[in-house]
Structure 1
């Protein structure tokens, strides 16, 4: 059977879906050893909730938690309540806190790794540095109470309030001092969130990097690593060479991750990536190849996925979540293509059609016939003849 898929210019093209899933060469329950790998996971909206884009999120908790078990079953860690979960784009702090509690409990039961986002999104208006610090402290206390590792997320409120690099030092220093376990720091570039322009006190990335390194150097025992999402592989490589011994670099670069995770004789990056939400089983298989000392197979598996990642994360990059959830629906991880805040409307039909084509070509769907059927139903709703 073939599908007619829309092109951006309004024409149609013929696509023949694959008929079998991609086989996995490694047992799914083998623990990953050579890299620490977190997949930033999406949330599943409740499609039957009577909500509006302005109302609090309604979450399908069963489907949301089942997806986390899917990632854990392949040996991946879960990065919870991050921007992939629409944090700050539909998911408010009250729902994020509940998500953290539930996911941390499930991780404990499943023996899965979990790290959770600590932010300041309970602040809704103008804030002082003291307000920002207290907001971080509240969320840090919650995450630590669940037993999960903390990720100190980049804060919109801090970016709006800080007037110098010293203000970042003044906020992060006491947070690191009071953290009970080493945390992951988080540098999300403005392509992911325009409100984070000038983070670490400067739009000059060299100057911002120096501030970040000063914060880490003052408390290296309290920093597990730094997740960097600037889509600049050269800068990431330079940063990881400057980190203190024992502090990890987690790539958040959804454009260059195979090269950065593979590394070179001078080092490598670990991973905390939104693209590993749809790539979970394949990404785990690739890392197991690294575990076996086979960097060539790692690159053979992951290099072809970059075209899908670059498509999903194309500008405006912050709307990549739409493609992530779309693929989860096609793959059978949820029964619908509905998102918190109505964000399913953030990408066009041609964009989604290309995402389906690339994901199918990569063999990401365990049930290609289900994905084909769901893609056909979407096309029909949009009036594309089949």
Structure 2
């Protein structure tokens, strides 16, 4: 199958697709030897009247939950209401809270399904400053929503805390108060400023080694209440350094969408588990790779997973926070939703040339699971967005 795709220079170039057969999901969910969370996106309902740039869009709950069923069927756990679901970038806390409640109830209906949910402070007024007590209370409010619904919390990084904290001790105070009060084990989340510039200097320092020492102090103090930490700094060496210093009972969840292939495979220093936004669009390919890894076939794992890294680096290219647009674009191409519209109008955050490159690299990586549909929808998009007819 051929399609004319735009180039960065403004011309078009013919492209021949490599993968031509629809992929059929496995009949039973596979098992892995790594814990693998896929951070899942939200499907909005653009047919209803709403404010596109607001943070309470109408959600297509059927399509949103169906995608979670799809991830469970491929062997993944779900990381719910995280930044991949546009938390703080189109999805506010009221919608996120409903998403959490619905997703926990939905998971109970699926044998073996498991999820953890993002808890933050994003319902605080972002236009004014807040005390540490305000921030502790905000975290506890969101923990209560998750835990009262029967879920487990992922303690997301807080913009309000980053703005209010004067020292590393302020972070230790907030995390101690919140983790101590949690009913369940907690996953911590260190989100780098490539994803959110307002989180620069998190843990009280822009120096990574100093910040790492602070978070390690928190983890060691609460090792019995912490399941693991997700680190999203897009730097494999930083992750290896922190991973090597974690208490034995605390696991590393890679959030490195640039280097996840090698970090999950591991080396002489150990391996990482995964909590990744990229697992949303590459789920079927990642599932096959993880099955190979569990069987001890590391070379086969790398042959399958490595081509997806080039796609991921394109999706997460700076400005990295707009990676969600490519995630939803691929969900649309693969038939998981009937439109390419996003909360906050974020589909407009990337260029036509970017989406064309995503299409190319997704095809090479085997991520276009319904190639005929993907080609047709890509053609429709190019005609509407750029006047390029195929």
Same fold (TM over 0.5): yes
> Residues 180-329 of structure 1 correspond to what in structure 2 (within 5 A)?
180-329=183-332
Look up the SS of the partner of 1:38 in the other structure.
strand
Residue 124 of structure 2 corresponds to residue 120 of structure 1: no
Cα deviation for residue 55 of structure 1 reads 5.3
Look up the SS of the partner of 1:110 in the other structure.
coil
Residue 91 of structure 2 corresponds to residue 88 of structure 1: no
Gaps of 5+ in 1: none
Cα deviation for residue 18 of structure 1 reads 3.7
Look up the SS of the partner of 2:280 in the other structure.
coil
Cα deviation for residue 22 of structure 1 reads 7.0
How many angstroms apart in 2 are the aligned matches of 1:223 and 1:108? 23
Contact preservation (8 Å) 1:67, 1:333: yes
What TM-score results when the alignment is normalised by the length of structure 2?
A: 0.96
Contact preservation (8 Å) 1:22, 1:364: no
Look up the SS of the partner of 2:389 in the other structure.
coil
What TM-score results when the alignment is normalised by the length of structure 1?
A: 0.97
Residue 37 of structure 2 corresponds to residue 33 of structure 1: no
Contact preservation (8 Å) 2:307, 2:364: no
2:79 maps to what in 1? 79
C-alpha deviations, 1:54-96, integer Å up to 9, x for none? Answer: 3522211111111000000111010000000000001000000
How many angstroms apart in 1 are the aligned matches of 2:194 and 2:152? 26
C-alpha deviations, 1:267-304, integer Å up to 9, x for none? Answer: 10000000000011111111111111111111111011
1:101 maps to what in 2? 101
Return closer, same or farther for 1:179/1:31 CA change in 2, 3 Å cut-off: farther
Q: Which runs of 4+ in 1 moved over 4 A?
A: none
From 368, 381, 389, the equivalent of 1:378 is 381
Return closer, same or farther for 1:58/1:282 CA change in 2, 3 Å cut-off: same
Contact preservation (8 Å) 2:311, 2:362: yes
Cα deviation for residue 266 of structure 1 reads 2.6
Return closer, same or farther for 1:82/1:55 CA change in 2, 3 Å cut-off: closer
Contact preservation (8 Å) 2:93, 2:123: yes
Return closer, same or farther for 1:326/1:23 CA change in 2, 3 Å cut-off: closer
How many angstroms apart in 1 are the aligned matches of 2:229 and 2:304? 26
Cα deviation for residue 23 of structure 1 reads 5.6
> Residues 91-170 of structure 1 correspond to what in structure 2 (within 5 A)?
91-111=91-111, 112-124=113-125, 125-170=128-173
Contact preservation (8 Å) 2:26, 2:73: no
Look up the SS of the partner of 2:154 in the other structure.
strand
How many angstroms apart in 2 are the aligned matches of 1:45 and 1:272? 23
Contact preservation (8 Å) 1:18, 1:368: no
How many angstroms apart in 1 are the aligned matches of 2:55 and 2:106? 27
2:47 maps to what in 1? 48
Count of residues in correspondence between the two structures: 385
1:364 maps to what in 2? 367
Contact preservation (8 Å) 2:240, 2:269: no
Look up the SS of the partner of 2:144 in the other structure.
helix
